[in-house]
Amino acid sequence: MSFTAQVKNEISKLEVSEIESISELSALIRNSGSISDNIKITTENASVARRVFVFVKNIFGYTPRITVRRGYNFTKNYVYILEINKKFDSIKKELSLDTELPKDFILDDEELKRSYLRGLFLSSGSVNDPKTSRYHLEFFIEGKEYSNFIKELLNSFRLNAKVIKRDNKYMVYIKEAEKISDFLRLINAMNALFYFEDIRIYRDHKNMTNRLNNCEQANVDRIIETANNQLNDIQLIEETNSLELLDDKVREVLIYRKKYPEVSLSELAEIIAMETEHPITKSGIYHRIKKITNLANKIRKNLEKK
């Protein structure tokens, strides 16, 4: 079962008040129904079909006709079709389906807005499993004006939703993991939220560990490269019998660098301080190494002139 189906199954079992169910049903029918001389709602989710059936029966005292068909191309999924053939005009009016956009009473307070978004997700929403490579939640919407309305509704909860046109429809989408978590919390999909957060925290921790490992490896590579350059300088100085051009303190660092070629300057300072009992800082080591490097560069220039 997909993560989207899990979320829909969870929220389709929530108990809500009658006024909340009106807002939810309004979004459900507007986005998964067709309205002509009757109202026909189509869904592949049995829990969603059951919820629509119960809402219509409880709110309007009318039992919708249900038809179950095999999915397109004879897939394993069934398609559930609910038809409302009576009380057509009153249902349209009470669910605010007779206007381009829902009327204010459908979204009169925060709870009704949350209910409307729940119905929107049940009818046209999908969300990627957080185990996949990217976070993505989307709604496929008919009409530019309505898609912008949905975007603004989502953004009233600071979800940073955006709209893009896809073929003859519009996709309203959210890509940030934290915002997707906020949406799941808004529609009260708490089990899905806990699962999403567990996976997100694991992925974030894993990514952070990988970044730290990469940084550590980069530091090791840099230390090795720097040490090799220093050893090359030392070898050149020795081969040209130029050690006497360095003072005793610099020669001491030269000897310890040859003895411990793999350590960092900080570690080299600690080793010298421990073995000689003369404190020295990383900065002190750096300045003495710099003198070795400068001498080696002068020797190279002189050799090039010859």
- Within a domain: residue 236? yes
Residue 109 placed within a domain? yes
Do 27 and 161 have their domain in common?
Answer: yes
Q: What would the pLDDT profile of 269-286 be if each residue is shown by its tens digit?
A: 888 888 888 888 889 888
**What distance in Å separates the CA atoms of residue 181 and residue 242, rounded to the nearest whole number?**
67
What are the DSSP calls for 52-107, one per residue? Answer: HHHHHHHHHS---EEEEEEPGGG-S-EEEEEEE-SSHHHHHHHTT-SSSS--GGGG
What does the block give as tokens for 227? 């040490």
d(CA 210, CA 228): 27
Q: Which amino acid is at 86?
A: K
Count of structural domains within the chain: 2
Same domain, 34 and 131: yes
67, 53 in Cβ contact below 8 A? no
Q: Mark the ranges of the chain whose per-residue pLDDT is less than 70.
A: 71-76, 133, 205-207, 210, 212-214, 216, 220-221, 306
The answer to whether residue 69 sits within a structural domain is yes
CB 287 within 8 A of CB 253: no
158 token code pair? 């600071």
Closest CA to 169 of 191, 140, 149, 196: 140
238 and 178 together in one domain: no
193, part of any domain = no
**Does a structural domain hold residue 197?**
no
Does residue 56 lie within any of the structural domains? yes
Residue 96 belongs to domain spanning: 3-188
Domain assignment present for 136: yes
Tell me the per-residue pLDDT of 196-238, one tens digit each, with 9 for 90 and over: 888 887 777 666 776 766 676 777 667 777 778 888 888 888 8
| Same domain assignment for residues 241 and 299 | yes
156 shares a domain with 8:
yes
Please give the pLDDT value at position 73.
Answer: 59
State which H helix or E strand residue 12 sits in.
none
pTM (predicted TM-score) = 0.67
Is 155 found in the same domain as 43?
yes
CB 44 within 8 A of CB 2: no
Q: Strands, DSSP E only, in the chain?
A: 33-35, 39-43, 65-70, 78-84, 125-127, 137-141, 162-166, 169-174
Using CA atoms, how far residue 146 sits from 19, 30, 31, 90, 172, in Å, is 22, 10, 10, 22, 10
pLDDT at 240: 87
Whether residues 23 and 89 fall in one domain? yes
Looking up residue 28, the CATH number of its domain turns out to be 3.10.28.10
Which residues neighbour 264 within 8 Å (Cβ) at sequence distance 6 or greater? 223
pLDDT for 71 equals 66
